[in-house]
Amino acid sequence: MILEIQSLDTIEQTAQKFIEQIGNRTVFAFNGKMGAGKTTFIKSICETMGVKETVNSPTFSIVNEYEADDGKIIYHFDCYRINKIQEALDLGAEEYLYSGNLCFIEWSENIAPILPDSIVNVDIEEKENGSRNVVIG
Q: pLDDT tier at 58 (50, 70, 90 boundaries)?
A: confident
Show Cβ contacts of residue 61 under 8 Å, excluding neighbours closer than 6 positions: none
User: Which pLDDT score is estimated for 61?
Assistant: 84
The reported pTM is 0.94
Q: What is the CATH number of domain 25-116?
A: 3.40.50.300
- With 80 as the cut, is the pLDDT of residue 94 above it? yes
From residue 50, how far is each of 28, 40, 60 by CA, in Å?
19, 15, 24
Query: Average model confidence (pLDDT) for the chain?
Result: 95
- With 80 as the cut, is the pLDDT of residue 60 above it? no
Q: Where in the chain are the domains?
A: 25-116
